[in-house]
Chain A
Amino acid sequence: MNIGKWPALRQLTTNDPSGRGAAVKSARTEHLTPRTVQADSIAKSVCPYCAVGCGQNVFVRDKKVVHIEGDPDSPVSRGRLCPKGSASLQLTTGDARLYEVLYRRPHGTDWEAMDLDTAMDMVADRVIKTRREHWQWDQDGKRVRRTMGIASLGGATLDNEENYLMKKLYTAMGAIQIENQARI
């Protein structure tokens, strides 16, 4: 191999001391195009981890998310992402994500697969039953109009619109033990 082509040497001899420019290109990378260029569309998004709220550009190709990077337009983040934000492609498309509903029956020793429709129906039935069994009109002579049988936890990683529907539905149900990470 021609020593003159070694990246480390080129780095030093071609005005690219940090090795982030032409010096690290090879014949192969010369012909690669970035995923950002191949994308069909870009969705404007926001990092889902912490509350800094860094802007993200989500690149889509063939109806799949292929790349996520910082949005340089954001006045808060100015294009930067930390390790978590940079890993959000893996969060959204990684192999650890599940795509099917799982069910564990009472006293069961393992999961069973269940279709979404059946599971939704079963949960709706359980809400109705538990609510009825644990309904309270009064406590100590005072009207409370509620159920203490149903509780909920979570919300700080969700959208405002989701929190809104949760609070609205739970309140109409009479469930009050609704909590999220603000107290964790």
Chain B
Amino acid sequence: MGTSFGRGGATTFQQDLQNADCILIEGSNMAECHPVGFQWVMEAKARGATLIHVDPRYTRTSAVADMHVPIRAGSDIAFLGGIVNYVIGHDAYFHDYVVAFTNAPTIVSGDFVDTEDLDGVFSGLDAEQRSYDPSSWQYEGATVQASSGQREQEPDTRVAEQQGSPGSHSGEHQPSVSGSGRGTTHGSGGAPVPSSVERDETLQHPRCVFQIVKRHFSRYTPEMVEEICGIPQDLFLEVCRTVAENSGRERTTALAYAVGWTQHTVGAQYIRTAAILQLLLGNIGRPGGGILALRGHASIQGSTDIPTLYNLLPGYIPMPHAHRDEDLDMFIEGASTAKGYWGGMRSYLVSLLKAWWGPHATEANDYCFDYLPRLTGSHGTYETVMAQMDGGCKGYFVVGENPAVGSANAKMQRLGMANLDWLVVRDFSLIESATWWKDGPEIETGELATEDIGTEVFFFPAAAHTEKNGSFTNTQRMLQWHHAAVEPGGDARSDLWFYYHLGRRIRQKLAGSTDEMDRPLLELQWDYPTEGSVTEPSADAVLAEINGWDAEGRPLTSYEQLDEDGSTACGCWIYCGVYATGVNQASRRKPGREQSWVAPEWGWAWPANRRIIYNRASADRDGKPWSERKAYVWWDEDEAKWVGHDVPDFDPAKSPWHRPPAGATGAQALAGDDAFVMQGDGKAWLYVPAGLTDGPLPAHYEAQDSPFPNLLYPHQQRNPVRQVFSRRHNRYHPNPSQPGSDVFPYVLTTYRLTEHHTAGGMSRWLAYLSELQPEMFCEVSPELAAERGLEHNGWATVITARGAIEARVLVTDRMRPLTVQGRVLHQIGLPYHWGPNGYARGDAANELAGLSLDPNCHIQEVKAMTGDIRPGRRPRGAARVELVEEYIRRAGITADTGMEARGGR
């Protein structure tokens, strides 16, 4: 969502769903996976809203929906693209909104060539290097910098990180970068003032974004949707009509999705298609509208905002890439935008460096910018696993996560860990990631022997949420503080304790070192007050640092106060204000019934406690609500400020008619109708001129493993720049027209249940939850059961080129066979919570998944795979490996199968 709107977070909040006139849930089984949040959907329904559920399976969400639309897993872009085509073709878009707040009128460079004219790929593709040079995607006569996504990167760096050829990710060998091409994606060399962006507000110019989008999606017809997604045309058209009728001045439609959308080789573009649709319908920034990303972990939003991610620093500042002689100035020039709030990048980064290195960070030494380690490509979790297997990565901390069963290609995860010097696991119980050396599947098959594994393993018991203070950021960007009820027992400790004391010990041991490499550690600001009998560091003090302070040590109240002269320190600029006036705002708990439905005094939401972001767009160009019914934030002429139900996501005193003076930069350059304040042009992006690696517009590509050819782009089967890895334990299935593809005739899709949590580390060890969902199963239709001789309650073995697992069979009408491209397709549902440890046991669905990644966010594709199913339990011991090898032989799979960038039918 970052590239479309400017920030990578849900645009709205769960309670606001009650204001929707229509809710489209796709890629999420909200009733079962986010059951308590689902009450707001039911509130909307009680008020007359229409609920549409698009999902391969019929679930409890479908059961209460007005429409359930069964869809082939992996075809969502074709479906949403079809709605986009309908909305444009039927003039059902919200014209005034689109003209005012999106880049629809903006003219795109004549160098850009669309998939229409290039056989299913965009201009700039280097098929050999598996990457796009995005320079031809820019606006006419202007270069804008993306507000998120791929920013601080040179094209040649990107080239290197897309390489999927064998060995290119091995060990210490990192893809090389060269100095050429600098600045192309940087917007450097004098980023133009935004007013120079050419716009045609009649939307008629053949190269304006609107016309490009219109042409691009024109082939996404109802007939195509039926053929590709398996959705009958009349059902599809009913969805189109319902969504269109429930959008506009008077009405709004909300869209909710979950990880079902991100886990694809085109995952980022799924969300982009949803963003395009919601923008055309005028549903962003308005009550009852928006896109709600439903996240599966308590603080997955928080761990992206304050990222334990390789490519980001806190607050979505990019980690620097290695460039020749880069200093702070060059970095800022490359990563910030000329216009909008990213224009303040220098203040945000300097304040972060001050929070980390305090008095050692001075203007003279670039505020210790050089202390930041540099990237040379993609260093995501899957590259790391391969580096472990190849011997380049020797120490590994696994903290509240269970990759031995929870990550795709679970075998490679374990083989990686078996090749470490040391492994630290911090969890409540002995999860599979702690015990694989003793009882993992490879021990049973004989592929590994315990005595041969040299990895030293430390298991540290973790403290529970009731035993520590701290904040979670929920799915609606809201920070909520939880208070320690008791101290942890025994040697159980919080991760705050672990990292604080580990850092303290390392610094003690290195004290006195004059080695330059130790300086960032020794000069690190690491003095936190401790409390209680276990010397727990104060989480409150850490939050205060995240919030930041001024030169006198006073807590800051807003990121607008951050300065680039080193006088302010702030650990995460988007969280600035969470400790305003020295009060922990995240722990505010004014009961909901004592405040408005927006409940601004419960917890604290970033940015600046705004609950619906981009809410300037809830009013028209002149600052008036689009309708009384949907009034949210508006311009009050008498008071000369923006007022309403929420904190305005806009300069409160900037009039709707304000036009920036020539030469203005940053937030000063935003006009009174630039509602998307983070964007380099102040507008939401239907078309993304910079920031994505796989194209400025979404295109339907088939999944890595798919039983069907790509009907929309017959000469381009898959995303040409997806990340693929040809390795012994990571083989792909044959292309649909190749012999052997019928060996894996069914579509597999993974999902979760109400009673378990992700890889099970927090649920399979609980008797209550284990009793409710005691073992691994698979869901199949009665038709498939008949075809393969599967018996309800019996056993089945599911096989891919990566692994074979067994599961109990659940024969159910909830799995409906679809008709796709004239033939019947069966889909198999696989919950992915299990592993061999704990009370509730079973094989892990992730044994089946291969690594093929979305090139933007490097997320693996597990929502749409292919495989085979047969009755009976899987073989034991070495025979399990032999079974998989037999399938590989039978399908004719080699190291090259499924690897091609172009073509691949």
Contact = CB atoms under 8 A, between A and B. Distances in A.
Interface of A: 41, 43-56, 58, 60, 63-65, 68, 72-78, 80-88, 90-92, 94, 96-107, 109-111, 114-116, 119-128, 130-135, 137, 139-169, 171-184
A130 B422 contact: yes
B470 A159 contact: yes
B424 interface: yes
3 closest A-B pairs by beta carbon, nearest first, are A99-B490, A75-B592, A159-B470
22 contacts: A52-B34, A73-B593, A76-B602, A96-B839, A97-B429, A106-B454, A115-B491, A140-B322, A143-B374, A149-B395, A150-B393, A154-B308, A159-B470, A159-B472, A160-B575, A167-B307, A167-B313, A169-B502, A171-B313, A174-B373, A179-B384, A183-B380
Contact of B501 (A100, A120, A133): A120
Q: Which among B297, B471, B571 has the highest number of chain A CB atoms within 10 Å?
A: B297
Given A77-B36, A96-B765, A101-B491, A43 B466 contact: yes
Contacts of B545: 164
Interface stretch (B97-105, B230-238, B731-739, B754-762): B754-762
Contact of A155 (B36, B399, B457): B399
Interface stretch (B134-142, B218-226, B298-306, B339-347): B298-306
B371 A157 contact: no
B474 A76 contact: yes
A160 B546 contact: yes
B397 A153 contact: yes
Interface stretch (B51-59, B504-512, B813-821, B871-879): B504-512
A99 B461 contact: yes
A149 B381 CA distance: 14
Contacts of B838: 96
B306 A164 contact: yes
B78 interface: no
B18 to A, nearest CB: 11
Nearest to A126: B422
Interface in B455-511: 455-461, 464-468, 470-476, 478-487, 489-496, 499-503, 505-506, 509-510
B470 A172 contact: no
A156 B589 CA distance: 23
Contact of B438 (A83, A105, A109, A159): A109
Interface string B397-426: 111110100111000000000000110101
Given A76-B14, A179-B384, A83 B767 contact: no
Interface string B301-333: 111111111100110000100111100000000
Given A45-B465, A98-B461, A144 B36 contact: no
Contacts of B589: 44, 55, 73
State the main secondary structure of chain A at its contact with B. Answer: mixed
B539 A161 contact: yes
A172 B356 contact: yes
A171 B408 CA distance: 27
B701 to A, nearest CB: 20
Q: Which among B176, B303, B571 has the highest number of chain A CB atoms within 10 Å?
A: B303
B274 interface: no
B64 interface: no
Q: For the side of the interface on B, what is the size category?
A: 35 or more
Contacts of B486: 60, 63-65
A50 B33 contact: yes
B36 A85 contact: yes
A144 B482 CA distance: 38
B214 interface: no
A143 B177 CA distance: 12
Contacts of A75: 15, 591-592, 595, 597, 599, 602
A47 B298 contact: yes
Contact of B356 (A54, A76, A130, A168): A168
Contacts of A121: 505
A148 B172 contact: yes
Contact of B14 (A52, A87, A104, A160): A52
Contacts of A73: 589-593, 602
A160 B374 contact: no
Nearest to A141: B324
A152 B380 CA distance: 10
A181 B100 CA distance: 37
Interface stretch (B245-253, B517-525, B669-677): B517-525
A182 B545 CA distance: 24
B453 interface: yes
Given A99-B489, A152-B308, A128 B465 contact: no
Contacts of B429: 96-98
A106 B457 CA distance: 8
B573 to A, nearest CB: 13
Q: Which among B301, B373, B860 has the highest number of chain A CB atoms within 10 Å?
A: B373
Contact of A164 (B296, B465, B546): B546
Given A48-B464, A132-B517, 20 more contacts: A51-B296, A51-B474, A53-B472, A54-B36, A65-B485, A74-B602, A80-B39, A84-B755, A84-B756, A123-B424, A128-B509, A131-B517, A140-B322, A143-B325, A148-B172, A149-B395, A159-B495, A161-B470, A180-B309, A181-B401
B376 interface: yes
Q: Which among B408, B503, B571, B754 has the highest number of chain A CB atoms within 10 Å?
A: B503
B174 interface: yes
Nearest to B537: A165
A178 B483 contact: no
Nearest to B513: A128
Given A53-B478, A96-B839, A178 B308 contact: yes
A116 B380 contact: no
B450 interface: yes
Given A53-B480, A107-B451, A160-B302, A181 B297 contact: yes
B371 A145 contact: yes
Given A84-B769, A92-B465, A155-B303, A50 B298 contact: yes
B425 to A, nearest CB: 9
A127 B509 CA distance: 11
A171 to B, nearest CB: 6
B118 interface: no
A50 B374 contact: no
A115 B500 CA distance: 18
A142 B36 contact: no
Contact of A144 (B376, B428, B472, B754): B376
B379 A176 contact: yes
Contact of A101 (B394, B458, B471): B458
Interface string B33-49: 11111010000000000
Contacts of B297: 49-51, 156-157, 181
Contact of B471 (A56, A160, A177, A180): A160
Nearest to B764: A96
A106 to B, nearest CB: 4
A147 B356 CA distance: 19
A151 B384 contact: yes
Contacts of B755: 83-84
B398 A43 contact: no
Contact of B542 (A56, A74, A161): A161
Given A98-B459, A144-B322, A160 B305 contact: yes
Contacts of B580: none
Contacts of B397: 150-154
Nearest to A43: B485
A153 B457 contact: no
Nearest to B601: A75
A174 B375 CA distance: 11
Contacts of A96: 428-429, 765-766, 838-839
B454 to A, nearest CB: 4
Contact of B505 (A48, A104, A124, A154): A124
